[in-house]
Amino acid sequence: MLFDTHAHLNFEAFENDWRETAKRALLAGIKIINVGSNLETSKKAVAIAEEFSEGVYAAVGLHPSEVQEEQLDIKEYKKLAAHPKVVALGEIGLDYYRLPDTIRPEGAGGVADGKQIKTPTEIKNLQKEVLLKFLKLSEETKLPVIVHCRDAHADLIDLLEKFDKPKGFDARGVMHCFSGSFEEARRYLNLGFLISFTGIITFAHFEGETLAKTPLNKIMVETDCPYLTPEPHRGKRNEPLFVEFVAKEVARIKNESYEEVARVTTENAKRLFQKIK
């Protein structure tokens, strides 16, 4: 058994075949969490989960890159979070990667497509405000968080260190699609987070130090499909079935058997996402 802890069958890339794609994974013994990036895709993730009696679950959240496009109504996400198939809040977090290309520089003004264009500082602050609201919702609902971070580890760690660790969790969340340093991973581990790896670890340029040093009982695997397709299928659309190749590469780098990696990472997922039966 394996667990693809981060998939997007709720995205447009799977509009015509999400059901068949999910069934392929389930037949191979792979469970799936479909993760929302805004209210629309969060609702879609829940709707997909409802189509299956077991093995397919949902997470609901507002991606940091979407905070300008959607005015957050946290009450709507709270309603979704009460659904029995919703096992986490996410994906949420901070993403500074695209700021210079997508928003105006400090001190500049302007409106585009009827929307006020924000400065880098304004958009960073908005991302932090949204993240804090979801962290508070996590505390209320006792749901773990699925966190996205790109080019923002220092700010994210600073924010999380100031936020009280929720009680009643064995772990508080997961750092999804992690590509940071081991020192950054260590700080997240100390804050009660698991670390999740994608098909990136199968790419030729991947440096395996962080994965090698992270304890297996703190690791999960994911596809982040339709993105980041692992070797040997790179260039094709990714799907939950391919999480097997991520787990096999974890086993190779950590000098463990594939069976042990599959067992432990699945146990880790069940430990984190406690609504899963």
Residues with Cβ within 8 Å of 259's Cβ and at least 6 positions away in sequence, in order, are none
State the DSSP code for 169: -
* CATH 3.20.20.140 is held by the domain 2-272: yes
pLDDT per residue of the chain (277 residues) written in tens, 0 to 9: 999 999 999 999 999 999 999 999 999 999 999 999 999 999 999 999 999 999 999 999 999 999 999 999 999 999 999 999 999 999 999 999 978 555 555 455 444 444 566 789 999 999 999 999 999 999 999 999 999 999 999 999 999 988 766 554 456 999 999 999 999 999 999 999 999 999 999 999 999 999 999 999 999 999 999 999 999 999 999 999 999 999 999 999 999 999 999 999 999 999 999 999 7
Nearest residue to 249 via CA among 234, 263, 236, 261: 261
pLDDT value of position 119: 87
Strands in the chain per DSSP E: 2-7, 30-35, 56-60, 86-95, 111-112, 115-116, 145-150, 173-175, 193-197, 219-221
pLDDT value of position 247: 99
Structure-token pair, residue 217: 């009982």
pTM over 0.85: yes
**Burial of 126 per CB tally in 10 Å (0-12, 13-18, 19+):** middle
pLDDT value of position 111: 41
Residues with Cβ within 8 Å of 165's Cβ and at least 6 positions away in sequence, in order, are 172, 191, 192
